[in-house]
């Protein structure tokens, strides 16, 4: 029996991430490749509707004692999210080969003070 249904919500930051991924891939390869990748990333994020707690806590955040964010992967892209009640807020969608520590500090930790 499936778990409770959660609603997937993209933050503005995650929407900007998707736009940047699309723009880069469309310019370097093709618009079709870019659209296919975005469809695949969003399909992966949609899998969180049933089992959002299956994702691991990002190591960069765990090292700081921050456990409320989780992540799942689509190829080398990290989909970082937070569960709040019956919502899954996708906060970051980024190429895992980036400097994730700096990105997460800028995006997720700036508002914690």
Give the pLDDT score at 54.
94
| Residue 2 located in a structural domain | no
Cβ atoms of residues 7 and 89 within 8 Å? no
Mean pLDDT along residues 1-14: 85
Give the pLDDT score at 4.
62
- Dihedral (Cα; 17, 19, 21, 25), 10-degree rounding: -170
Mean pLDDT along residues 34-40: 98
* Residue 102 belongs to domain spanning: 7-109
State the average pLDDT for the chain: 92
Mean pLDDT along residues 73-83: 97
| Residue 1 located in a structural domain | no
Cβ atoms of residues 80 and 101 within 8 Å? no
Residue spans of alpha helices (H) in the chain: 12-28, 31-46, 59-62, 100-104
| Residue 22 located in a structural domain | yes
Instruction: Check pLDDT > 80 for residue 11.
Output: yes
| Residue 17 located in a structural domain | yes
The pTM for the full model equals: 0.90
The CATH number for 97's domain is 3.30.2310.20
Please count the structural domains in the chain: 1
């Amino acid at each position: 029996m499936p778990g409770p249904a959660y609603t997937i919500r993209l933050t503005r930051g995650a929407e900007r991430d998707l736009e940047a991924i699309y723009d880069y891939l469309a310019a370097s390869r093709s618009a079709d490749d870019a659209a296919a990748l975005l469809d695949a990333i969003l399909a992966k994020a949609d899998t969180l509707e049933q089992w959002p707690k299956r994702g691991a806590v990002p190591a960069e955040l765990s090292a700081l004692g921050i456990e409320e964010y989780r992540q799942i992967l689509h190829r080398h892209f990290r989909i970082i999210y937070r569960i709040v009640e019956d919502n899954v807020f996708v906060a970051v969608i980024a190429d895992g080969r980036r400097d994730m520590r700096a990105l997460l500090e800028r995006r997720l930790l700036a508002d914690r003070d």
